[in-house]
């Protein structure tokens, strides 16, 4: 009985080690579009203003957003993306310094992790341009930063 008790911690450690190796092996799989580990990738977030936060009947509807996503975004980044509903605020030059409250805006945040290439940068710019032409918005905020990516 004493020998069995002394082996228990070692057996438990062995099982945990095997589970950890299995989990790592499972996450280190990929394909050409989703490599096991990628370097020189970028995490890009684009912020699209849809309209006033307090009036969903004004601005861009969910159906129009989905149409834009299907026509302009997905064909350019078919390997994957994420969309998050966010609340945004914006204070333009005409509001700043005058004590006016910021505009409160329904916003979609588009997240795309992609290789850092001139081609992907051009695709992102084309998406931003298409949105501004379609909605007559002044801007689409882009935030990009280096990312370590694994699938």
Burial of 1 (0-12, 13-18, 19+ CB in 10 A): exposed
In-domain check, residue 42: yes
Q: In terms of residue numbers, what domain contains 94? A: 37-146
Q: Is residue 25 part of a domain?
A: no
Q: 65 in a domain, yes or no?
A: yes
* Domain contains 4: no
Q: Is the pLDDT of residue 24 over 50?
A: no
Asked if residues 77 and 125 have their Cβ atoms less than 8 Å apart, the reply is no
In a domain, 45, yes or no: yes
Closest CA to 135 of 59, 66, 55: 59
- Number of domains the chain contains: 1
21 in any annotated domain: no
User: Between residues 64 and 27, which one has the greater pLDDT?
Assistant: 64
CA dihedral 56→59→65→71, nearest 10 degrees, is 160
CA distance 137 to 106: 13
Q: Where are the alpha helices (DSSP H) in the chain?
A: 2-27, 62-68, 118-135
Coil vs helix vs strand at 104: strand
**Domain contains 31:** no
* CATH number of the domain where residue 117 is located: 3.30.70.120
pTM value is 0.73
pLDDT, one tens digit per residue, over 43-100 is: 999 999 999 888 888 999 999 999 999 999 999 999 999 999 999 888 877 777 777 8
């Amino acid at each position: 009985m004493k020998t069995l008790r002394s082996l228990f911690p070692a057996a438990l450690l062995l099982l945990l080690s095997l589970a950890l190796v299995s989990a790592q092996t499972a996450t280190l799989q990929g394909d050409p579009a989703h490599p096991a580990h990628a370097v020189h990738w970028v995490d890009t977030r684009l912020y699209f203003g849809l309209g006033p936060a307090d009036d969903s009947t004004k601005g861009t509807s969910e159906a129009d957003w989905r149409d834009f996503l299907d026509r302009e975004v997905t064909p350019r980044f078919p390997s994957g993306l994420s969309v998050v509903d966010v609340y945004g605020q914006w204070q333009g030059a005409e509001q700043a310094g005058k004590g006016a409250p910021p505009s409160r805006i329904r916003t979609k945040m588009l997240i795309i992790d992609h290789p850092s290439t001139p081609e992907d940068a051009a695709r992102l710019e084309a998406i931003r341009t298409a949105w501004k032409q379609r909605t007559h918005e002044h801007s689409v905020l882009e935030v990009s930063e280096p990312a370590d990516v694994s699938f």
